[in-house]
């Protein structure tokens, strides 16, 4: 497991790390992850390669930090929906469709971005596992509130959240979304979500 740099203590360090990540993501998007190296990132920023290594130990570490930043944006979207004053079912609908749109628009829109995401998934990084755990916890809270409000039947919210995630994984996993996109024999995202929500009500 790689440890991300600590950016909490020093604002100047945090700013430099953000600049490096911004430049790296721009180059990964334009040239592709495999065709970009640390020297390219340093050149784009007008700094030495050694200076990059003051903040990140490798290109892999930079990639992991970018992945973590992308996933944090998805989580913040989910958290904002979690707090909305609407029914539990509507919050699940809004989150799952929102995640599907993010996957299509941000992760599949450009082939270079797709490559970056696929590499991250194949390496099974801790940052991805942690994101899944946080999302399961959040959806479990929504389901628990739905149970308390009488929307959903009595059940274990944690297990229900894992099952809901498994039922809708085709809408959130970049590789699965890419495979199912534009295939006429695949269920529509809206239908998959409604099917999963109905299961919570029975």
| Per-residue pLDDT reduced to its tens digit, 137-149 | 999 999 999 999 9
Is the pTM of the predicted complex or chain greater than 0.75? yes
Quick one: average pLDDT of 37-60? 93
Question: Given pLDDT bands bounded at 50, 70 and 90, which one contains residue 91?
Answer: very high
Q: What is the pLDDT of residue 86?
A: 97
Q: What is the pLDDT of residue 2?
A: 47
What is the number of H-type helices and E-type strands within the chain? 10, 0
Instruction: Please indicate, yes or no, whether residues 80 and 53 belong to a single structural domain of this protein.
Output: no
Instruction: Count CB neighbours of 183 within 10 A.
Output: 8
Instruction: Please indicate, yes or no, whether residues 119 and 169 belong to a single structural domain of this protein.
Output: yes
Quick one: average pLDDT of 108-133? 71
Range of the domain at 158: 64-201
Residue 23 domain flag: yes
* Ramachandran angles phi, psi of 58, nearest 5°: -165, 170
Distance CA 131, CA 191 (A): 25
**How many domains does the chain divide into?**
2
């Amino acid at each position: 497991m790689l440890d991300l740099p600590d950016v909490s203590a020093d604002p100047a360090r945090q700013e430099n790390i953000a600049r490096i990540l911004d430049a790296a993501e721009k180059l990964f998007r334009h040239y592709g992850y495999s065709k970009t190296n640390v020297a390219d990132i340093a050149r784009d920023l007008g700094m030495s390669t050694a200076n990059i290594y003051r903040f990140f130990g490798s290109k892999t570490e930079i990639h992991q930090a970018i992945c973590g930043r992308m996933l944090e944006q998805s989580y913040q979207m989910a958290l904002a929906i979690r707090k909305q004053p609407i029914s539990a079912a509507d919050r699940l609908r809004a989150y799952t469709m929102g995640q599907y749109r993010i996957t299509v628009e941000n992760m599949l829109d450009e082939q270079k971005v797709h490559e970056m995401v696929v590499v991250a998934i194949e390496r099974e990084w801790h940052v991805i596992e942690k994101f899944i755990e946080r999302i399961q916890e959040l959806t479990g809270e929504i389901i628990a509130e739905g149970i308390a409000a009488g929307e959903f039947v009595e059940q274990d919210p944690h297990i229900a959240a894992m099952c809901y995630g498994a039922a809708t994984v085709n809408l959130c996993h970049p590789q699965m979304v890419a495979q199912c996109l534009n295939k006429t024999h695949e269920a529509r995202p809206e239908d998959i979500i409604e099917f999963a929500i109905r299961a919570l009500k029975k």
